[in-house]
Structure formats: C-alpha cells, structure tokens
Structure 1
Amino acid sequence: MAHDDLIKSILTGSKTVAVVGISDKLGRPSLTVASYLKDHGFDVLPVNPNLSSVAHVPCYPDLKSLPVTPDLVVIFRKASDIPDVVREAVATAVPRVWIQEGIVSEEGYRMAEIAGMAVIMDKCIMKEHARLTREGHLAKEHH
C-alpha cells in the first residue's frame, strides 16, 4: 500500500483514538495534536499514568484501563518506551498504531507489523491529516 493510502486508511478507519503520553501543558505537541483530532471529529482518550484528567476529560493510566478498545493509538513517548506501548496495544487488540513525528523505534514498528497492525512511524498525525484534507483526500470533518 502506498504511504498516503496507508495514512488515509488509518485516518478514515479510526474514530476512537487513544493518545499515549499526552501532556496537560499548553503548547506541548501531544495536547495540540489531541485537541486537533477532537476538533476534527475523533473521540480522544487521554492516556498518561501521571494525570487524572486532561482538558476536563478523564485520563487513563494505560491502554488496558480504557473503557473501550480504541481504533488507533497515537504514541508520544520516548523511543525506548515504544515496544512496551506496542505490546500493550497488541494485548488489547488495537488495530492501528501511530508513532509520532521524531520518534523512531524499529523494534516497536516491527512488533506492530508482525501483529498485523497498520503502523506509521516518525510522522505527525495532525500534519498528515491537515495535508490530506487540504489536498482533498479526506473529508473536512471525520465521522
């Protein structure tokens, strides 16, 4: 599958998105991206064991604590943490993983691929969504 086709299929096939490693600090990329996704029709589930809520939304300590299985996990963690997050995503039957821009974990990427997940690494989901929407490949609002 061509890269844009994979990105498009991940975005159009996802409604519920868990953001692992979200911050509650304004200006942090994880919070900016989560807000963008929410504004574009995605149901966002914050995941960070150190926070009880983010923007008045309950925050969960890990993927297995979520009330539903997300369609997509967007990961904002350091590269060395990626394999553990992917393992947890596999264990909770999440079908798609997005490893954010600037984060590279070949081990985590391979684990996701071997598990049959759709996976993107080292790209910003917000930038890719905005670009594909601008180019007319995605509808303005995601439903």
Structure 2
Amino acid sequence: MAFENPSREQIADILRNAGNIAVVGLSDRTDRTSYMVSQAMQNRGYRIIPVNPKASEILGEKCYASLQDIPEPVDIVNVFRRSEYCADVAREAAEIGAKVLWLQQGVVSSEAAAIADEHGMIAIMDRCIKVEDSIALRGK
C-alpha cells in the first residue's frame, strides 16, 4: 500500500496535542530554513528541542547531540535532514518513544515511514510543520 499523509484534520489534532518537538538538523544559522521554521513554531508556543551535535544552544534551548540524549519525552521528531538519513532518525525516534516522525517539505523516505509505522508512530512526509500549523490554526 502506498504511503499517505494523515488528513489535515488529523494533522491539526497532532499539532494541538504536541508538547515537545525535537528538531533534528536544526541549524544555529539564522538564515537557514530549519532555524526560521523552528523559531516561528517556538513563537507560536511550541517547545522546541534542538538536536545538533555541533551546537550547544539554539533559540535559547540546550542542544542535544542525538535524540537519545534528550532527558524528557518527545512528541514530534521534526526532521531537517536529507532523505537518506531519515531511516536512522526514524529508528532513534522509535527508541525514545516519539509519537510522530515529521519529515519536512522536500524530505521523503519510504523506509523511514515503514519504520515509523512498525513502531506505532505516525509518519508525515514532505510537509512543512509551520505551514501545517498555520492551516490548523485558521480554523480556530
């Protein structure tokens, strides 16, 4: 069966119930899409947890080298990495008990989606979390 993203209503529900969002590949460079999207989400009230082994702090939050290093529960793992790295990220997300694996716009990995499904996670691919949040909030 071909992969299908959750419906807009399901995505809205996921975002309404999201607590911590770990952002894998969050850059500390303010001109990068990962930074701008994460900053916008943070400004909307989401808790952003940066995952970047080369930085100590981004957006005022402590950075972690990997998902396993995060000492608190993670609801959404938002991925700003190339598609070929996503299966490994999906495995790590499964290990920490994340609920959602979110691959940003332009990022697609059938293997990562299959891993997410196998571990009871919801997979979202090729969608921007900031755009989806804007759409979800329009209905409020």
TM-score normalised to structure 2 length: 0.91
2:111 aligns with 107
Contact 1:97 1:120 in 2 (8 A): yes
Q: Determine the C-alpha separation between the residues in 1 that align with 2:6 and 2:42.
A: 27
2:134 aligns with 130
The 10-residue stretch of structure 1 (63-72 or 81-90) with the greater mean CA deviation from structure 2: 63-72
Q: Determine the C-alpha separation between the residues in 2 that align with 1:65 and 1:2.
A: 29
Aligned residue type for 1:34: S
- Give percent identity, aligned residues only: 35
1:13 pairs, out of 8, 11, 17, with 17
Is 1:98 matched with 2:102? Answer: yes
TM-score normalised to structure 1 length: 0.90
Summarize deviations over 1:22-47 as a string: whole Å, max 9, x none: 00111211111111111111111000
Q: Determine the C-alpha separation between the residues in 2 that align with 1:13 and 1:88.
A: 22
Q: Could you list the runs of 4 or more consecutive aligned residues of structure 1 that deviate by over 2 angstroms after TM superposition?
A: none
Contact 2:39 2:59 in 1 (8 A): no
Aligned residue type for 2:82: K
Contact 2:6 2:124 in 1 (8 A): no
2:53 aligns with 49
Deviation at 1:86, TM superposition (A): 0.5
Deviation at 1:63, TM superposition (A): 0.6
2:123 pairs, out of 112, 119, 122, with 119
Is 1:33 matched with 2:37? Answer: yes
Contact 1:64 1:92 in 2 (8 A): yes
Contact 1:6 1:118 in 2 (8 A): no
What is the aligned-residue RMSD (CA, Å)? 1.4
Q: 1:38 to 1:88 in 2, by over 3 A?
A: same
Q: Determine the C-alpha separation between the residues in 2 that align with 1:60 and 1:74.
A: 14
**Corresponding pairs, count:** 136
Contact 1:75 1:99 in 2 (8 A): yes
Q: Determine the C-alpha separation between the residues in 2 that align with 1:120 and 1:111.
A: 12
2:86 aligns with 82
**Runs of 5+ consecutive residues of structure 1 not aligned to the other structure:** none
Contact 2:105 2:125 in 1 (8 A): yes
